[in-house]
Amino acid sequence: MPNRTLKAIFLIATCCFSTWALAQNAYKCGDTYNQTPCPGAVAIDATDKRSSEQKTQADDATRRNSEAARAMEKARLEQEKKDLAVNTPPAKPASGDALDTTSPRQVSKKKKKKAPPYFTAQVPGQKKKKHATGKKDPEPR
């Protein structure tokens, strides 16, 4: 059991140390930056040259900006809620709440024509011919 624990600790420590981010070389090739040098490339020092005081100032500025952004978002959401309440039309009253001026008989609903049980292909722009019996001329096959 202790042997397994030591092996696990060793493997975890090895993984932690092997995943450190090391600065890679950067090269400027014309207007682009690459990890591999090209003909006429200029090596760029990509290390962070700020002091700890400058880093804390940048972190504080970032924190202030994020707090201001949250406050602005909250104010925007409140304003949108107010605008929605003002611009929303009133809801229709339920059938039992107010007197309904139209009776069910007065409201007419158009009935849809029943589709024929068969499919008939039609040429666009061509008028349909009717027989003397009132039936439409069958389409040629």
pLDDT tens, residue by residue, 65-86: 999 999 999 999 999 999 998 8
> With 60 as the cut, is the pLDDT of residue 101 above it?
no
Q: Residue 2: what pLDDT?
A: 65
Q: Residue 122: what pLDDT?
A: 80
Which range among 40-44, 112-116, 120-124, 137-141 has the greatest average pLDDT? 40-44
In the chain, where the domains are located: 22-87
pLDDT tens, residue by residue, 28-45: 888 888 888 888 888 888
Instruction: Render 55-115 in DSSP notation, one character per residue.
Output: HHHHHHHHHHHHHHHHHHHHHHHHHHHHHHHHHSPPPPPPTTTS--SS-TTT---PPPPPP
